[in-house]
Amino acid sequence: MIYIRSLTLLLTLVFALPTLAAELEVGDPAPDFTLAASDGNTYTLADFKGKQAVVLAWFPRAFTSGCTVECKSLAENGHLIREYDVSYFMASVDPLAENQRFAEETGADFPLLSDPGKDVAEAYGVLAGMGFARRHTFYIGVDGTILKIDTAVQPATAAQDMATSLGELGIARR
């Protein structure tokens, strides 16, 4: 019985360690990143600082049901988000080629960022014990600080919820 409890505790700690690495909070500076995207470009967060707010929506894995629903929500309702002066991205730890196929299949008209090295996912504290990113959305202000962290993303209404959050955060309209 003690062995089982010890093993359970050990497994809990091992799977929790990636999430303990970086517990970001509202007001913290957003970790910088430079990631390749499905549209053939490379994006660096620092390039937006002082110019535009950024939304970074992490998703677990391309071609899975919830991620497909979320990506299609953003593709079909992106006009709601584009009413704001913001650049928005979905990001995963999937390889770039996988995200490129996923973007094409879902009709994504926005970049999907790839972090196969998982360094950025770790910096944002979204890397789950199974090696996938958690479905969390980060709202980053023009000054580079985190304005909001949404850990309860609803894939079907992701675009509408994102637009609502941008309005509540006072992000300038275009």
**Bridge partners (DSSP) listed for residue 37:** 113
**Bridge partners (DSSP) listed for residue 42:** 36
- Give the span between the Cα atoms of 99 and 23, in whole angstroms: 26
Q: Do 133 and 91 touch, CB atoms closer than 8 A?
A: yes
- How many C-alpha atoms does 156 have within 13 Å on its Cβ side? 0
Question: Would you name the residues annotated as active-site residues?
Answer: 67
Residue type present at position 28: D
Q: What is each CA distance from 13 to 130, 167, 171, in whole angstroms? A: 13, 38, 39
